[in-house]
Structure 1
Amino acid sequence: MSHLQLLLLFTLWTPILSGQGRPINPDFTERDPLEGVAADNWLRPDSTFSAGRFYTSLGVGAALYGSASYGLYQAWYADYERAPLRSFDDWGEWNQMDKAGHAFSAYIFSRYSFAGLRWAGMKRPAARYAALGVANLLQGTIEVMDGYSAEWGFSWSDMGANLSGSLLFTVQDIAWKEQRILLKVSNDLRDHPDVPVTNGNGAISNLSYPSRTRFGENLLERYLKDYNAQTIWLSANPKAFFPKSRLPTWLNVAVGYGSENVYGAYGNGWTENGQRFRYEKEGYRQVFLSPDVYLSRIPTKKRWVRLVLGALDFIKLPAPALEYSEGKLKGHWLMW
C-alpha cells in the first residue's frame, strides 16, 4: 500500500472513527434533515424560493463545471485532431466501463444540482426535474466534444447511459424522496504495468506504452481514464429499506463493476515505431461485493460537516471485498 493510499484511507475514515455527534433519527426525506439538531446558518436550506441563492447555486455550478470541462478537455481531447460532427457506435468498447462512467457522472450531476436547488428554496418536484435536465445537458456537452473529435464521435449509447444515471436519481426521489441507492466510484491508482511484449518480428515494446498513451500520465487522467484501476459501484443503504433494524444509518452494501487487462477499446493491440504489438492476455469483467459508508449519513450536528461529507458521497471507501471474475471467487482484504 502506497503512502498516498494510506493518507487517503486515514482522511476518508477519520470522520467515521471519530464521530461527529449524534442527532436523533434524522429524516433524510426532509428538505433539512438537521432541522432542530444543527444551529441555523446560511447553509440551512431556504423554505421559500430565494433568487439570490438560486443565482449563487447557478454561478458556483457553472464555475465548477467550467473548470472540470477545461480539465477534461486537457486530459481527454487536447492531443487529438478536431473533425466534423459525426456519430459512431461504441457500445462494445472497454467492456462497457465507459458507459458505467457516464451513468455515474450523470447521477452525481443530478444529485449536486438537486441539492443546490433545494438549498435555494425550490420546491421538490421542480428541483427534481430541473436536476434531471441539468445532468443530461452537462453530459450532452461532453458528448458533443466527443462528436467533434477525430478519435471518437457522438455516441447514442453514451447518451442512454447518461439518461439511466440521471433517472436513477429522479426515480428514487419520486418513490422515496431520498437516495437509498448511490452510484460511486473507486480507483486503486495503480502504477502503469511493466510487462515486456515482443512481436513476431522480434521488436520489443512494453505494456506500459499503451497504458500511458491511453490512460495518461497524471493523477487526473488516470483517475478518469484507467478502466483497469477504476470500479463503478451501486451502493445501497439497508437502514433505509429496513428502518426498524438496528443497523447504522451510514452503513451501505455495495456491488461494483470493473474490468481487468483492458488496454484497448476492442483488444490489447497497439502500434509503436511502426511495429504492431499485442498483449496476449484477454480482458475480463469483474463483479465485487463490499461494505461501504453513506458519508452524508454519518451522525453530525454541524451543517458544514454534512455538506463536506455529501460532496464526497461519490467515493467508495476502501474496504474488504469479494470479487467474482473468470468463473472464480476471490477475496480482497482491502479494495480501493
Structure 2
Amino acid sequence: MKTAFILAFGLLFHFQISAQILNNYTESDSSRIDGLKLGIIGGVTLGAFTYVHAIQNHIWWKGEKSEFHFEWNNDWKYSLGADKVGHFFFSYAIADIYYQTLKYSGIGHKDSRLYSTILSAAYQTYTEIKDGFSKKWGFSWGDFGANTLGTLYPLLQDQCDFFQNVNFKISFEKSQRFEAGSHNYIFDDYESTYHWMTINLCNLFPDEYQNFFTRFINLAVGHSVKGLDNSGRANHEFFIGIDWNIESLPGDSDILKLLKSIINKYHLPAPAVKVYPGIIWYGLKF
C-alpha cells in the first residue's frame, strides 16, 4: 500500500507540473492535418515502440522479477550519474522529435507540443514502472526526475528564448570494454556514450556582432565516464569542442526541417579537447 501511494504521488506530481506548464498550449489550432502523414507516423511509432520494447526487455527486464520496489542504494553509483544524463537526453529528444513530426503532419504548434510532451512522459514513466518490477533494478526517483526535466525542457525553450540557444546531443564511440564484449548494445555502455550540451554563441551576441559568427558552428561541452568495472577507479570525463548545427543549413521545406531536427540530436565528429582528467586534443572527437 505504501509503495502504491508513493508511486501514485510521484506520477501525479509529474503530470501536475506538465499540466501547469501546458496550460497555455491547450487551445486547438486551426490546421490542416494530412491523414496519410499522420497514419505513417502512427505506424512508425508502433513499430518503433515494439522494437525498442523488445530491446529493453532483453537488456533489463528478462531477469528475475519481484514485487514493485524502489532502488535507493546503487542508483547514483553504478554509472556515476551518467544514466541520469541519458534519461534527460532521451526524454528531451523524444519530446522534441515528436513535436517536429506532428507539426510535419499538419498539427498546429500548441497541440503538437502538448501531444509530444504526453508521449514522452508516458513512455518514460512506463519504463520506470517496468524497472520497478525487476529485482535487479527497481523504480528510480533519480531517473524519474531526469525524465521529467528532459520532457519539460522543450516547453522551457518555448517560454524563454534564451534556452533555444542551449540544446543537447549524444554520440557514441566504442570503449575498450565494449569491444571486449561487455555489452550487446552500445547505448547500454556508458563508457561508449558521450552527452553534449551545445550553445549557439552567434545568437547570444548583440546584432551588430552576429555577422562575425556563423550559426553552423556552436560551442559544445561534453561528458562521459570511464572505469566502470568495479575496480574503484571510475571517473568522469569532460570535453570542450565545437558542434555542427545541422538545423542552420539551407532548406525550409517541412520534410527537410524534420530531417535536420532528427539528425541534429546526434553530435557529429568535430574537433574537441578533453579538459578532465588531463588534456588531450582531438582533431575529430566522435
Give TM-score, length-normalised by structure 2: 0.78
- Work out the percentage of aligned pairs sharing the same amino acid: 24
Deviation at 1:47, TM superposition (A): 7.0
Deviation at 1:254, TM superposition (A): 1.0
Is residue 83 from structure 1 mapped to residue 34 from structure 2 by the alignment?
no
Residue 290 (structure 1) aligns with: 241
Deviations 1:214-235 (A, max 9, x none): x413xxx12x111112111111
Deviations 1:12-41 (A, max 9, x none): xxxxxxxxxxxxxxxxxxxxxxxxxxxxxx
Q: 1:82 to 1:295 in 2, by over 3 A?
A: same
Letter in 2 for 1:257: H
Larger mean Cα displacement after TM superposition, 58-67 or 287-296: 58-67
Deviation at 1:259, TM superposition (A): 0.9
Deviation at 1:185, TM superposition (A): 0.8
Letter in 1 for 2:41: S
Alpha-carbon contact 1:47-1:121 (below 8 Å) kept: no
Residue 27 (structure 1) aligns with: none
Alpha-carbon contact 2:199-2:220 (below 8 Å) kept: yes
Q: 1:166 to 1:85 in 2, by over 3 A?
A: same
Is residue 92 from structure 1 mapped to residue 77 from structure 2 by the alignment?
yes
Provide the aligned length of Structure 1 versus Structure 2. Answer: 252
Q: 1:56 to 1:183 in 2, by over 3 A?
A: same
Residue 47 (structure 2) aligns with: 63
The 5 Å alignment of 1:310-329 reads 310-326=261-277, 328-329=278-279
Which blocks of at least 5 consecutive residues in structure 1 are unaligned? 1-45, 195-207, 269-278
Letter in 2 for 1:334: L
What is the root-mean-square deviation in Å for CA atoms of aligned residues? 2.6
Which blocks of at least 5 consecutive residues in structure 2 are unaligned? 1-28
The 5 Å alignment of 1:34-183 reads 48-50=31-33, 52=35, 53-78=37-62, 80-89=63-72, 90-176=75-161, 179-183=164-168
Of 159, 171, 183, the match for 1:216: 183
Deviation at 1:137, TM superposition (A): 0.8
Q: 1:325 to 1:175 in 2, by over 3 A?
A: same
Deviation at 1:162, TM superposition (A): 0.6
| SS of match in other structure, 2:80 | helix
| SS of match in other structure, 1:317 | coil
Residue 14 (structure 2) aligns with: none
Alpha-carbon contact 1:296-1:306 (below 8 Å) kept: yes
Q: 1:184 to 1:258 in 2, by over 3 A?
A: same
Deviation at 1:140, TM superposition (A): 1.1
Deviation at 1:121, TM superposition (A): 3.2
Deviation at 1:154, TM superposition (A): 0.7
| Higher relative contact order, structure no. (Cα contacts within 8 Å, ≥ 6 residues apart) | 1
Alpha-carbon contact 1:129-1:170 (below 8 Å) kept: no
Of 221, 227, 238, the match for 1:261: 227
Deviation at 1:303, TM superposition (A): 5.1
Alpha-carbon contact 1:146-1:153 (below 8 Å) kept: yes
Q: Which structure's residues are more often helix, by fraction?
A: 2
Rounded to whole Å, the distance in 1 between the matches of 2:217 and 2:175 is: 27
Q: 1:179 to 1:59 in 2, by over 3 A?
A: farther
Rounded to whole Å, the distance in 1 between the matches of 2:253 and 2:106 is: 20
